[in-house]
């Protein structure tokens, strides 16, 4: 994974904020909203990179600029070592895109949609390619149904099949497994990893499924308020949370446990007989020893280290986790 497939340099996108009164458009300069604010990153050949952030962070705006659907206010996009603004058609021939929230032509059947997009991309041996993807994404039973009659999950699978119709070098995937049941979502993830391994397919993925990102992404770019605030492997981001969760099933002394946590300014919660206390990793032994001194009895214990989801929550809503 040495060759740079996608390079984004100082990319920004501004939108005019709506004016309060009609006459203001003639006399008052529009205020600007920066949806994407001076971001730069690279994606290497064969990488699967997650573009994460809360709703409104700028992820979709970034994706649309990479597809040429929005023109950047500032900055430069390079794909396959070509400047996007001057080589858009040549670049898009080797790219593709899927979103669980975008509809394909609704009057066409599943097979017809794939055929039309295959013709657009000038796919060789197109009928064989369509049948292969229909089998991979388990669309056999609905291949003759119109898109308008499909469920949300079926539409998501059709979008995924369309995204790989041309064996793209770079795929942009917006919530690829949203609306899919767990079994199909797992098969989609395995297909993505297989495509990466066999064809060195490069992927940029947005997702709110943190477990999915941890499973398939080599690296994560975290964006918030239009700016990149962090970049690391999923494991590296999780390790930036210092706190761990200690969960105990209390036999005797639940109130004492909660009072002790409050006294030490630790975040604690109770659900039934279970109490969860968040402490730094080097405080776990002291917590357990102190509870023993107070006569607290418990029959079960689990110590959960931070996950990518914990990091996401910390960045988006300022949970009580301490950052390393």
What's the pLDDT score for residue 32?
84
Summary mean pLDDT of the chain: 93
- Res. 322: pLDDT tops 80: no
Report the sign of the C-alpha dihedral through residues 139, 140, 142, 144, in that order.
positive
Distance CA 220, CA 214 (A): 9
Q: Contact at 8 Å (CB) between 5 and 80?
A: yes
Q: Span 79-103, mean pLDDT?
A: 94
What domains sit in the chain, N to C, each tagged with a CATH number? 4-238 (3.40.50.300), 243-305 (3.30.70.120)
- pTM (two decimals): 0.84
- Res. 19: pLDDT tops 90: no
Q: Span 246-267, mean pLDDT?
A: 96
Distance CA 173, CA 161 (A): 12
Share of the chain above pLDDT 90, in %: 83
Using alpha carbons, list the distances in angstroms from residue 40 to 5, 9, 23, 96, 252: 14, 4, 38, 21, 54
102-129 per-position pLDDT tens digit = 899 999 999 999 999 999 999 999 999 9
What's the pLDDT score for residue 314?
85
175-184 per-position pLDDT tens digit = 989 889 999 9
What's the pLDDT score for residue 28?
66
């Amino acid at each position: 994974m040495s060759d740079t497939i996608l390079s984004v340099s100082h990319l920004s996108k501004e939108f005019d904020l709506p004016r309060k009164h009609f006459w203001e458009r003639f006399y008052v300069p529009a205020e600007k909203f920066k949806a994407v604010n001076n971001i730069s990153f690279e994606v290497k050949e064969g990488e699967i990179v997650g573009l994460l952030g809360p709703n409104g962070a700028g992820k979709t705006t970034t994706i649309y600029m990479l597809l040429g659907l929005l023109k950047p206010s500032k900055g430069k996009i390079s794909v396959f070592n070509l400047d996007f603004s001057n080589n858009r058609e040549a670049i898009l021939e080797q790219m593709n895109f899927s979103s669980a929230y975008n509809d394909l032509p609704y009057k066409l059947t599943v097979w017809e949609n794939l055929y039309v997009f295959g013709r657009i991309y000038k796919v060789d041996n197109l009928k064989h390619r369509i049948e292969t993807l229909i089998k991979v994404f388990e669309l056999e039973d609905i291949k003759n149904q119109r898109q308008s009659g499909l469920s949300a999950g079926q539409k998501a699978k059709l979008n995924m099949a369309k995204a790989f119709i041309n064996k793209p070098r770079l795929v942009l995937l917006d919530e690829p497994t949203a609306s899919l049941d767990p079994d199909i979502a797992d098969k989609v993830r395995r297909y993505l990893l297989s495509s990466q391994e066999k064809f060195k397919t490069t992927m940029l993925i947005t997702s709110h499924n943190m477990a999915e990102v941890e499973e398939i992404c080599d690296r994560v770019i975290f964006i918030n308020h239009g700016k990149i605030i962090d970049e690391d492997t999923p494991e590296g981001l999780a390790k930036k949370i210092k706190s761990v969760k200690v969960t105990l099933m209390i036999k005797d002394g639940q109130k004492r446990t909660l009072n002790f946590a409050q006294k030490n300014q630790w975040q604690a919660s109770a659900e039934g007989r279970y109490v969860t206390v968040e402490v730094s990793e080097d405080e776990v032994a002291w917590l357990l020893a102190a509870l023993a001194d107070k006569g607290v009895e418990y029959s079960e214990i689990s110590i959960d280290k931070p996950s990518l989801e914990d990091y996401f929550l910390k960045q988006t809503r300022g949970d009580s986790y301490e950052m390393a």
